[in-house]
Every structure is written in C-alpha cells, then in structure tokens.
Amino acid sequence: MAKNLVVPGQVRYLFNIIGGVVLLTGVIAAGVCLKSFGLAPTANMVALAVVLLALLALFPLVRSVSHRMDELQQALHEKASAAALALSVALAAVVGVLQANDVIPLFNQLWTFAAIVALWAIGLMLTDAKFK
C-alpha cells in the first residue's frame, strides 16, 4: 500500500504561499505599470494611492495567516526569513559596491525584490527538508 506523502494541511500551506507571492507580485506590477497607462497626473496619483493601500492591506492578511500556522511552520518561516535577510543584505552590499565602481550597470530594484523572494523560498525549502 502506497503512503500518502502530502497531507491536506501542506497543500493549503503551499497554496497560501503561492497565492501571497502572486498577489504581491500583481500589486507591485500594477504600481510599476501605472506610467504606461498614460493617465492624467491626478488620476495617476489616485491609482498610486490605491496600489499603496493594497500593499498596506497585505500586512493584516499576512499576520492572520501567520497566526494560524503551527509552531513548526512558524519556526521554519523564522529560519528562512533570517537567512534570507542576511543573504539579501550581503547581496545588496555586493551589488551596490559593484554598481558604484561601474562594474555592473544600474538595474531596477524589482530584481532585488525577486532575489530576496528567491532566497527566502530556497531557505524555506532547505529548512523544510530537514523535517521530511
């Protein structure tokens, strides 16, 4: 008899993580694309305010999701977040020094955000693998 390796809680947890990243990426993409819509300056400011309010509304959502996690999931998130913070600070420092010395060109900071999310995801996978 085959063992069921995925429990429903893990699937819901995975969908919460993926949904949160997709939602955050969508809001940030909407904020970045505002200039390309050719809105009047007043309408552009209103649209930007809506995007910023949407970003601020994510904080209570993340807080409610994190309070529903059990202790093991909270510990995994804590370890992954700490590792991602340390690695992203080091990465940002290296990139800043390289850009200041014209070794690499300036680029959009959304790439830095993508690197932070990737480092967090890798850290979450590595810490989760210890408990499998």
Q: Token pair of 98, please?
A: 């390289």
pLDDT at site 1: 46
**Is the per-residue pLDDT at 82 higher than 50?**
yes
**pTM summary value:** 0.53
**C-beta separation of 72 from 131 below 8 A:** yes
Q: Which of 48, 117, 46, 110 is nearest to 88 (CA)?
A: 117
Contacts of 95 (CB under 8 A, 6+ apart): 104, 112
Mind listing the pLDDT tens digit for each residue in 12-53? 666 777 777 777 777 777 766 777 777 777 877 787 788 778
Q: Cα(50)–Cα(54) distance, rounded to whole angstroms?
A: 6
Provide Rg for the chain, Cα atoms.
Answer: 19
